[in-house]
Amino acid sequence: MIHNWLDDLNEAQQKAVINTEGPALVIAGAGAGKTRVLTCRIAYLLQKGVPAGKILALTFTNKAAGEMKDRIARIAGAEIARFLWMGTFHSVFARILRIEGDRLGYKPNYTIYDASDSKSLIRAIIKELNLNDDIYKPGVIAARISTAKNNLVTAGMYAADQGMREYDNSCRMPLLSDIYRIYTMRCFKANSMDFDDLLMNTNILFRDFPGVLASYQERFRYILVDEYQDTNYSQFLIVKKLSAVHRNLCVVGDDAQSIYSFRGARIENILEFRNEYPDYQLFKLEQNYRSTQTIVNAANEIIANNEGQIQKAVYSRNEPGEKIMVLQSMTDTEEGFNIASDIFDKRFSQRLNWSDFAVLYRTNAQSRIFEETLRRKNIPYKIYGGLSFYERKEIKDILAYFRMVINHEDEEALKRSINYPKRGIGETTVQKIFELSADLNMTPWSIISECRKYQAQFNAGTAKKLLDYVEMINRLSLDCATRNAYDKAREIATGSGIMKELRDGKMPEEISRFENIEELLNGIKIFTESAETNGEPSALEAYLANVALLTDQDNEKEEDRDKVTLMTMHSAKGLEFKHVYVAGLEDNLFPSPLSAGNARELEEERRLFYVAVTRAEKQATLSYALNRYKWGNLERSSPSRFLREIDRKFLEFPQTGGKPFRTSFVREETGPYKLRLRPKKSSRSRAPAFIPFSGNSLPEFSVGDSVMHDRFGTGEIVSIEGEPPDTTASVQFETNGTKKLLLRFAKLKKI
Contact 90, 193 (CB under 8 A): no
Q: How far apart are CA 646 and CA 50, in angstroms?
A: 47
Beta bridge partners of 616: 577
Contacts of 242 (CB under 8 A, 6+ apart): 56, 206, 213, 216, 217, 220, 223
Strands 381-383 and 564-568: parallel
Could you say which of 615, 628, 636, 739 is catalytic? 615
Contact predicate 725/744, CB 8 Å: yes
Catalytic residue of the set 13, 34, 323, 563: 34
391 is catalytic: no
Does the annotation mark 503 as catalytic? no
Active-site residue flag, 257: yes
27, containing H or E segment: strand 24-28
Cα–Cα distance between 398 and 514 in angstroms, integer? 11
Pick the catalytic residue from 117, 196, 226, 491.
Answer: 226
- 226 given a catalytic annotation: yes
Enclosing H/E stretch for 383: strand 381-383
**Start-to-end CA span in the chain (Å):** 85
What is the SS3 assignment for 36?
Answer: helix
Q: Are 283 and 268 in contact (CB under 8 A)?
A: no
Closest CA to 111 of 543, 544, 489, 445: 544
Beta strands, E only, 691-748: 706-709, 713-721, 728-733, 737-742
SS3 6: helix
Distance CA 242, CA 213 (A): 7
* Catalytic pick among 35, 154, 281, 293: 35
Helix 162-170 to helix 176-189 angle, to the nearest 10 degrees? 110
Q: Is 35 a catalytic residue?
A: yes
Residue 71 to residue 81: CA distance in whole angstroms: 9
Q: Which of 100, 194, 227, 335 is catalytic?
A: 227
670 counts as catalytic? no
Q: Residue 495: in which H helix or E strand, if any?
A: helix 485-495
- Nearest Cα residue to 4 out of 47, 49, 33: 47
Whether residue 488 contacts residue 469, with contact meaning beta carbons closer than 8 Å, is answered with no
Q: How far is it, in rounded angstroms, from Cα 689 to Cα 708?
A: 20
Check the CA dihedral 710-712-714-716 and report its sign. Answer: negative
The residue from 88, 231, 257, 727 that is catalytic is 257
286 neighbors 315 (Cβ within 8 angstroms): yes
Q: Given 3-state DSSP classes, what are the helix, strand and coil percentages for the chain, each rounded to the nearest 5? A: 50, 15, 35
* Distance (Å, whole) CA 137 – CA 135: 6
Which of the residues are catalytic?
34-35, 226-227, 257, 615
